[in-house]
Amino acid sequence: MNAIPWADALAALAAPPAAPPATDVQALLRRWHPDHQAGASVPLRVGASAGQACPPPLAALLHANTLIDDTDVAGCATVDTGLLVIGGGGAGCVAALTAAAAGVKVVLATKLGLGDSNTVMAEGGIQAAIGAEDSLQAHFDDTIKAGQRAGDPALVRALVTEGPAAIRWLIEQGMSFDREEQGGGAIRLRRKRAGGTSVPRILSTRDVTGLEMMRVLREAVLLHPNITVWNRSPVVELLSDGAGRCRGAVIYSLYLHRFVLVRAGAVVLATGGAGRLHLNDFPTSNHLGATADGLVLAYRLGARLREGDSFQYHPTGVGWPASLRGQLISEAARSLGAQMRNGHGERFIEELSARDVVAAAILREIGEGRGVERDGCLGVLLDTPGLERAKPGVLAGSLVSLLHLAHKSGTDPAREPMLVCPTLHYQNGGIVVQPDGSTDVPGLFCAGEVSGGIHGRNRLMGNALLELVVFGRRAGLAAASCDAARLGRANLDHVQDWRRALAAAGLPLEVRAPMLFPEVANFSMAADRALGRAPVLAAG
């Protein structure tokens, strides 16, 4: 693939750029966005959403057999609780805190450790319509438009309407936001523009907003007497009561090397997305546990999916060095005025266009030979030196994560631009939910990235953090009202129905899911279970 060498691109960067040309957005997306490339999707063959388009690696997991049989859990320990929350990121923590505040006993099981999630990687900020020049209607319109009008209006309405209350709630939990002086010595929360928005609406903590949010939520969860946290406890199957209701889950304890049955009045899935499937062979910003577990288990139990073929590729992933690919340069840099330039020094897209548009434009520049090549890595330039010249001190004052990444690569972003290229970042679709987080399966709720319908086919920066608060609270409150007094049966009967469906569709029973961990983790459940069966040798 042709590209402009790094040295030539640096020389071209010296010339002041003209405004970017007008763009036919729909034509750009159809030609260059990864979701629309040949082979990017296949139809699902079984389940409640059979016939819908889905990326092949995700479809393979959704078509898979369960990891366990009745014999695997016969006689294993059983724990009863009012609510089981699966996932220890932002959405799971908010749901657990909300239910616990309502007096419900909560078990929160997380695959890694509490807070090890995509939430901490949300650098840019959180959206909420709190400015005098803003409105709930403007936030609604921006969100619907950015999602290519595929979002569920009822879900978007809930998201934006509860935005201001979500910010107040976070501040009450102890979260800190950037502030700025107004006339007369008054102080207000600082607001920035995000790509695809009509007014400045982003509230942030420098470019570490998700990390600050997760710090506050994690502390609140650990201190709450109604919440018990199980770290290193991935879910391997949901439980049903024989009548289609979710009644808990089978958890695999990486500490005990064995299964534990958790019977619950309700379950909240907050398992995040599917970035670690590396769709279309892209690097990903997602954490180690983002392997679509919640989608797989909810779908097997009968929940429907929507927009399962729609994923967000963040425009400004690190393009060079190769060792840092998959890490993000926050959209905050473009919000503050950083321009993007191709190998000829040209601006090729309005930097604060919606993320899907910017990502597709970058891929177009690379594909048509106007990208930049450095040590075999391809991308375009993020003009951080130009930003620093325009706003002296902005890198150190507002973009600490960008500085950290630049220093890890051995460069000074005030003197040298950064090479950027799109990175697989977010699952736009997911499980079909109602405004209270409920799914088609009674007793099963979802919050956060695992749920679909809010973002349509593209997500605005800042709406992910808002979503996990708004719908974490809604799902936690609705799940807390489920009757846990008589738990009754909790079994794997639905698994037999699923296996019959797989066989009828001619799909192999040897393929099993959820994945739990990507291949790089080198994890084998069979080998791990063997540790639990090994005899304990006395010391000495």
Burial pattern 438-464, b for ≥16 Cβ within 10 A else e, equals bbbbbbbbbbbbbbbbbbbbbbbbbbb
In what helix (H) or strand (E) does residue 126 lie, and over which residues does it extend? strand 126-127
Whole-model pTM above 0.85? yes
Q: Which of 326, 328, 320, 237 is nearest to 288 (CA)?
A: 326
Q: What is the full per-residue pLDDT of the chain (540 aa) written as tens digits?
A: 799 999 999 999 998 999 999 999 999 999 999 999 999 999 999 999 999 999 999 999 999 999 999 899 999 999 999 999 999 999 999 999 999 999 999 999 999 999 999 999 888 899 999 999 999 999 999 999 999 999 999 999 999 999 999 999 999 999 999 999 887 777 899 999 999 999 999 999 988 999 999 999 999 999 999 999 999 999 999 999 988 899 999 999 999 999 999 999 999 999 999 999 999 999 999 999 999 999 999 999 999 999 999 999 999 999 999 999 999 999 999 999 999 999 999 999 999 999 999 999 999 999 999 999 999 999 999 999 999 999 999 999 999 999 999 999 999 999 999 999 999 999 999 999 999 999 999 999 999 999 999 999 999 999 999 999 999 999 999 999 986 656 778 899 999 999 999 999 999 999 999 999 999 999 999 999 998 876 655 443
Q: What's the pLDDT score for residue 540?
A: 36
The alpha carbon of residue 211 and the mean position of all alpha carbons in its chain are separated, in whole angstroms, by: 14
Q: What's the pLDDT score for residue 539?
A: 45
One-character DSSP codes across 61-106:
HHTPBPS--HHHHTT--EEEEEEEEE--SHHHHHHHHHHHHTT--E
* Fold (topology level) of 70-310+428-480: FAD/NAD(P)-binding domain (3.50.50)
Q: What's the pLDDT score for residue 484?
A: 62
Q: What's the pLDDT score for residue 372?
A: 98
CATH number of 4-32+312-424: 3.90.700.10
Q: What's the pLDDT score for residue 444?
A: 98
Residue position matching structure tokens 């998959």:
326
Spatial contact of 431 and 439, defined as CB atoms under 8 Å apart: yes
Q: What's the pLDDT score for residue 535?
A: 62
Q: What's the pLDDT score for residue 485?
A: 57
Work out whether strand 78-86 and strand 106-109 pair parallel, antiparallel, or are unpaired.
parallel
Q: What's the pLDDT score for residue 185?
A: 74
Looking at the chain, which residues constitute the CATH 3.90.700.10 domain(s)? 4-32+312-424
Spatial contact of 127 and 163, defined as CB atoms under 8 Å apart: yes
Which residues are annotated as catalytic?
355
Looking at the chain, which residues constitute the CATH 3.50.50.60 domain(s)? 70-310+428-480
Q: What's the pLDDT score for residue 331?
A: 92
Phi, psi values for residue 210, rounded to 5°:
-65, -35
One-character DSSP codes across 476-527:
HHHHHTS--S-----B-HHHHHHHHHHHHTT--SS-B----S-GGG---HHH
Q: What's the pLDDT score for residue 381?
A: 98
Q: How far apart are CA 47 and CA 60, in angstroms?
A: 13
